[in-house]
Amino acid sequence: MEYSTSSSTAAGLINTGLRYQDNFAFEQARQTFQQAIDEDPEFAFAYYCLAWITPDRIKRDALVKEGEKYLQSANNGERDMLDVMVESLAGADVNWLEWLQSFTQLYPKEIRYINLLGNFANGDGDIEKAESYYKKSLAIEENPDALNSLAYLYTGQGKMNEAKVVLDRQIAVGGDLANPYDSMGDYYLEIKDNQKAKEYFNKALSNDPEFTMSKRKIWRIEQEEAGNKVEQMEWS
């Protein structure tokens, strides 16, 4: 995707931020989107990317208000994304599946949106369709978010050998991220190797000390090792 900003640094930061976002590194994503804004204070898409993952309503609304000033400078590709983001942030009910299908027809090489189609198919229980989307994404570019989804798809089917191969690929391409290690930790939890799982959760935290999912899973393992019963709702 080409961006309207004249700053190649800001454009690169957006791609980096989206990669963080798609791999659950939300604090790193927020910091990176803010850096993009700092590089180009008139980059509308950067404001909306940051607003999208800002939990504080007041801060989110302020970002949207600032981004609105520069919407006229957005290019066609950005507008295809921004129009629906504007609607959703304003509280409108958006048909995301319909939008994704339309968007990926216009931009067939945009892997993150192909991955999202896979997630929709997976959520609907269409495992074969989901797998085909993830593999389509990976045929365009080896990427950790598609590999992550594919690994959990295989785990859910009991295909543990296939899942392990995919998780190794995910670490190879996303070793700077926390989530690939967290996912490998989940694999080891699934095969009842808590110590190996804990090792990978700690690796996740070495990449992102604020990665809450790994923190909670380490806590769960330690509680179980101490003989304490852990209810699902306490840690998941």
Domains and CATH numbers, the chain: 8-81 (1.25.40.10), 95-139 (no CATH), 142-228 (1.25.40.10)
CA angle 48, 180, 95 (to 5 degrees): 40
**Cα dihedral angle (98, 53, 167, 231), rounded to 10 degrees?**
-100
Whether residue 233 has pLDDT greater than 70: no
Whether residue 235 has pLDDT greater than 70: no
pLDDT digits (tens, 9 = 90+) for 89-141: 999 999 999 999 999 999 999 999 999 999 999 999 999 999 999 999 999 99
Q: Which amino acid is at 50?
A: L
pLDDT digits (tens, 9 = 90+) for 7-33: 999 999 999 999 999 999 999 999 999
CA angle 50, 82, 110 (to 5 degrees): 90
Look at residues 144, 100, 141 and name the one whose alpha carbon lies nearest to residue 123: 100
pLDDT at 129: 98
Q: Rounded distance, CA 101 to CA 168, Å? A: 30
Give the DSSP H or E segment for 9. helix 8-22
The stretch 67-96 carries a mean pLDDT of: 95
Whether residue 232 has pLDDT greater than 90: no
Higher pLDDT, 227 or 143: 143
CA angle 127, 128, 130 (to 5 degrees): 65
**Are 45 and 4 within 8 A, CB to CB?**
yes
The model carries a pTM of 0.90
The stretch 58-73 carries a mean pLDDT of: 96
Q: Rounded distance, CA 97 to CA 81, Å? A: 13
